[in-house]
Amino acid sequence: MSYDINAVLKAYPDAVSCDETKGPRNKDGVLFTPEQSKVDAARVELDKLKYKDQRKFEYPSVAEQLDLIYHDIDNWKAVIKQTKDKYPKS
């Protein structure tokens, strides 16, 4: 069985680690079997927030954005809109 590590760790905040093939371990180091429904729900929540990480790397730096705002706010709006359109909210 293969585990979605991020989803398991989100569904079980008490899990200390999760091996992709063996599964998650609790704070005592004991392996446990996660409930699939909880993992699926966590995966849905993570997918809803995925756009934030994608956008973060596309936006210009804060300094570049401030410069764009100062010199040409319409151009800044276009740059930001392009990134938002590329990675829409789910």
Say what the pTM is.
0.61
Chain segment 33-66, per-residue pLDDT in tens: 999 999 999 999 999 889 998 999 999 999 999 9
Q: Measured on CA atoms in the order 1, 9, 37, 89, is the torsion positive or negative?
A: negative
Which is more confidently placed, 2 or 80? Answer: 80
Confidence at 1, pLDDT banded by 50, 70, 90: low
Query: Measured between alpha carbons, how far is 90 from 87 in angstroms, rounded to an integer?
Result: 9
Do 13 and 51 meet the contact criterion of CB atoms below 8 Å apart?
A: no
In the chain, where the domains are located = 1-49, 59-90
